[in-house]
Amino acid sequence: MRFIHTGDWHLGRVFHQMQLIEDQAYILDQFVALVSEEKPDVVLISGDVYDRAVPPTDAVNLLNDVLSRLVLGCGTQVIMVTGNHDSPDRLNFGSDILAKGGLHVCGQCCAQPYCATVADEYGPVQFYAVPFTDPARGRELFGDEDIRSQQSLMAEACRRIISDNGGNGRSVVLAHTYVAGASSSESERPLSMGGVDEVDPTVFSGFSYVALGHLHCPQAAAPNAFYAGSILKYSFGEGKQVKSVNLIEMDSSGKCKAEAVKLSARRDVRVIEGELEVILANPACYGCADDYLQIILHDKQAILDPMGKLREVFPNVLDVQRPVFLSAISPASGGFRPGKDGRSALDYFDAFYKEITSQQMSDQEKEAFSGVLEKMEACDREVAGQ
Ligand SMILES: [Mn+2]
C-alpha cells in the first residue's frame, strides 16, 4: 500500500494582507503532478483544509478542482479530516455521497469511529479519522464526563478505534492535534484558549502510521506518528523550514517507510536584515526579489517611507521591522524617555520632524507635541500603577 500524507493547506489564507490563493494553486499543481507520477492508492489530508470556517469562494473552487483531479483524474482515493480552522458541518456536506466516488470526508466527530477501508494485494488497510473536536463536544458524543482535555478526548477516540478493529491488522489514524514534545510554528492557532491541549504520543501506539495535522513544521512526533507540515510557509518564523509531503510505503505486515518529498513554492518566504542603503545598493545579493519578504532594518536614524523605498526593488515586501526604533519606545525600556545622550523625547521628535519636512518645528508645534507626550506618559503611569 502506498499513500501520501499532507495537511494544513489553509486554502484562502491571507498573509500580511497578501492573498495566497495563486501560491496555493501553484503548489497544489505540483502536488497533483506528484500524485499522478507516484500513483499512491490513497491521499490523506490531515485537517485545516481551509483557513477559515467560511472560506472564500476562490478557496472552495480550488479545493473542488484539486480533489476532482486527484480522485477522477489520478484515480486515487482521498481521505480528509476536519482541523481546528475548518467548519465540521460545512466540510461534512455530501460526505456519504462523495465516499461512493472515492472522496472520504470525515467532518464531524461521531461516537462510532470513522473508518474508510482500502485494500491492496495483501488485504485491507483501515484508515480511521478523528476530526478536531473540543472536549465539551467530546463529552456529549462519548457520554463521558471525564473528557476535559484533548488528551482524554483523543485517548477515548483511540480506545474506540482499537475496540472497533480488535487492535490488530494494518491501521492508519488521521488526527488533527498537538502531540506533546513536537515543535510549533507562529502560524498555528492554539487548539484551546489557555487550557492544556497536548496529547501524549503513547495514545497512538499500536497503529501502523499516524497522519497528523496541526503543526506546520514537518516532523516525527513518535516512531509511528508524523506531521507532514503545511504546504506553504505561513509565517516569517517558518522561513528556514523545508515544506514537504510524506510518501509512505506500507508492507504486508503494516510496517511503514516514510519519505519526505519536497515542494517548491512559487515565492519563498524569507527574512532579510541590514541597513536600508546597503540593501538597496546591492539587491541582487539578497536572493529572488519577488519573494515574500520581511525586512529588518538596523538603521538608527529616521527613514521616510522605508516600505515604499523597499517595494521599488522588492515588490513583495510584506513587513518592515525597525528593532532599534521599537526598543526605544517599548514599555520594557520604560517608554519614550530621554536617551543616554541626554536628549529628550522632544529633541528626538524635533530631529525627526526636520528630517521629514526639512523645516524647524514652530514653538506652537513644540508645545502641542509636549502636550501629547505628557498625556501619554500620564496614561502609562496609570496603567503601570506608578
Ligand atoms: Mn494548521
Any idea where the domains of the chain sit in the sequence?
Answer: 2-262, 268-329, 330-386
- What percent of the chain has a predicted confidence (pLDDT) above 70? 93
Instruction: Over range 154-178, report the average pLDDT.
Output: 94
Q: Measured at the alpha carbon of residue 330, what is the angle toward residues 327 and 331, in degrees to the nearest 5?
A: 140
Ligand 1 midpoint to CA 23 (Å): 17
DSSP labels, 15-65: ETTEE-HHHHHHHHHHHHHHHHHH--SEEEE-S--BSSSS--HHHHHHHHH
The C-alpha cell at 239 is 522561513
Give the model's pLDDT for residue 325. Answer: 72
Q: What is the pLDDT of residue 385?
A: 44
Q: How does the average pLDDT of the chain come out, rounded?
A: 92
* Mean pLDDT computed over 320-333: 70
- What's the confidence (pLDDT) of residue 166? 82
Each residue of 296-316: pLDDT tens digit? 999 998 899 999 999 999 999
pLDDT of residue 260: 97
Q: Of residues 190 and 208, which shows the higher confidence score?
A: 208
pTM for the full model? 0.84
Q: Which of 188-197, 276-285, 370-379 has the lowest mean pLDDT?
A: 188-197
Between CA 315 and CA 269 the distance in angstroms is: 13
CB contact at 8 A, 216 and 8: yes
Banded model confidence at residue 386, pLDDT cuts 50, 70, 90? very low
Fold of 2-262: Purple Acid Phosphatase; chain A, domain 2 (3.60.21)
What band does 119 get if pLDDT is binned at 50, 70 and 90? Answer: very high
The mean pLDDT value for 115-120 works out to 96
Question: What is the pLDDT confidence band of residue 194, given thresholds at 50, 70 and 90?
Answer: low
- For residue 256, give Cα distances in angstroms to 5, 120, 247, 262: 12, 14, 10, 19
Lowest mean pLDDT among 39-53, 73-87, 101-115, 192-206: 192-206
Query: Residue 238: pLDDT band by 50, 70, 90 thresholds?
Result: very high
Assign 341 a pLDDT band (cuts: 50, 70, 90). Answer: low
The pLDDT of 152-169, averaged and rounded, is 92
Centre of ligand 1 to C-alpha 8, Å, is: 5
CA dist 266 → 24, 48, 82, 126, 145 (Å) = 9, 21, 26, 36, 48
pLDDT at residue 190, rounded to an integer: 81
Give the DSSP H/E element, type plus range, for residue 120: strand 114-120
Q: What pLDDT is stored for residue 143 in this prediction?
A: 95
161 CA distance to ligand 1 middle (Å): 24
Residue 259 · residue 247 · CB < 8 Å = yes
DSSP H helical segments within the chain, as ranges?
A: 21-38, 57-68, 88-92, 95-99, 135-142, 150-165, 276-281, 306-313, 323-329, 345-357, 363-384
Is the pLDDT confidence value at 92 over 50?
yes
Confidence of residue 349 (pLDDT cuts 50, 70, 90): confident
378 SS3 class = helix
How many of the other CB atoms lie within 10 Å of CB of 52?
15
- The answer to whether residues 242 and 251 touch, using CB atoms and an 8 Å cutoff, is no
Ligand 1 centroid from CA 83, angstroms: 7
Q: What are phi and psi of 3, to 5 degrees?
A: -145, 155
Query: Phi and psi of 221, rounded to 5°?
Result: -105, -15
CA of 204 to the centre of ligand 1 (A): 20
CA–centroid distance, residue 307 to ligand 1 (Å)? 29
Q: Are 79 and 43 in contact (CB under 8 A)?
A: yes
How far apart CA 257 and CA 42 sit, in angstroms, is 15
CA distance 159 to 234: 34
* Cα 226 to ligand 1 centre (Å): 14
Residue 230 clears pLDDT 70, i.e. is over it: yes
Task: In the chain, count H helices and then E strands.
Answer: 11, 19
